[in-house]
Amino acid sequence: MNETKTFSLDYEDNLDIAWCPGCGNFGILNLLKKTLEEIENLNPENFVLVSGIGQAAKIPHYFKTNFFNGLHGRALPAATAIKATRPDLTVIAESGEGDMYGEGGNHFIHTIRRNINITNIVHDNMIYGLTKGQASPTTQTGMTTPVQVNGVILKPFNPIAVAIATGATFVARGSVTDPKTTTEIIKEAIKHPGYALVDIYQPCVTFNKINTFKWFKDHTYKLDEKYDYTNKEEAIKLALKEDEFPLGIIYKNTERKPFDEQLSIYKNTKEPLYKRQRNLKRIEEFINSKK
């Protein structure tokens, strides 16, 4: 029996979803549900979605599974804690680019450094949509907003280049304009033993009139099958391109051990601590030795 069908697309169809009609988040929600359905032995009981604050961060509300919806920018530390204590679970941390790269920027860097075995999906629409259209970390230079009325003066944050440069072991970019490629990327990211970044382009149809569906189609291309994603130098070159953006796995290596495989408590078994037999005599001896 295939239990993966419990991630049914029919579930939650009658919910009042809090996104604008035409929002790119719908595309990510649909392709993520389809992707999860197709992953063998994955079901709501052994899966956790973690998010912070923002429109994208509402996505766990539309799944019947375990989820943690926390503070602004704090999805990654919560996901790290969950994976560290329950290495048997599949964990996805998911939020927008403001939550992950702005408020959560420091956590982004240190989650990469730890190489925690989670998938980090970032909805990247280049704007703060929940708070009505201020510049986000990835907003392009020159764009005018209700706050940056004379145009954004800063260069956009480059998550792909930063992730590769700081040691991420799986770095990819998808787009709702190419759901087939994005689905393949997410499957590979979930299978990857270590931290996996999947930055997904998706338009904010209400507050970003520049980076539209057409704009993302016109400014992205799918990486050739012959592209060698283990070549770090080539990956950095691709990441630094500012006019046309590649879709696919941009960089991957499996040489670094994930965080939980380096913890001594999981050296002999992956069984979570709370399930293990307690030896009260040894605990008592340890306490007494400290008196």
pLDDT in tens, 58-70: 999 888 889 999 9
pLDDT at residue 9, as a whole number? 43
**CA neighbor of 237 nearest in space, from 246, 224, 225:** 246
pLDDT at residue 202, as a whole number? 97
pTM attached to this predicted model: 0.92
Distance CA 112, CA 168 (A): 5
pLDDT at residue 8, as a whole number? 54
Task: Output the furthest CA–CA distance in the chain (Å, rounded).
Answer: 69
pLDDT at residue 273, as a whole number? 87
What's phi and psi for 214, nearest 5 deg? -65, -40
- For 232-247, how does the pLDDT look when each residue is reduced to its tens digit (9 = 90+)? 999 999 999 988 999 9
Distances (CA, A) of 267 to 86, 255, 275: 14, 18, 16
What is the DSSP annotation of 188-251?
HHHHSSS-EEEEEE---TTT-SSS-HHHHHHTEEEPPTT--TT-HHHHHHHHT-SSSEEEEEEE
The DSSP 8-state label assigned to residue 69 in this structure reads E
**CA neighbor of 72 nearest in space, from 93, 99, 98:** 99
Overall residue count recorded for the chain in this entry:
291
pLDDT at residue 6, as a whole number? 52
- Ranges of the chain whose pLDDT falls below 70: 1-14
Return the structure tokens found at 169. Answer: 């072991």
Helix runs in 39-96, H state only:
75-85
Terminus-to-terminus CA distance in the chain, angstroms?
55
Distance CA 195, CA 87 (A): 13
How are strands ordered across the β-sheet holding 47-51?
Answer: 66-69, 47-51, 90-96, 119-124, 196-201, 170-175, 245-252, 220-222
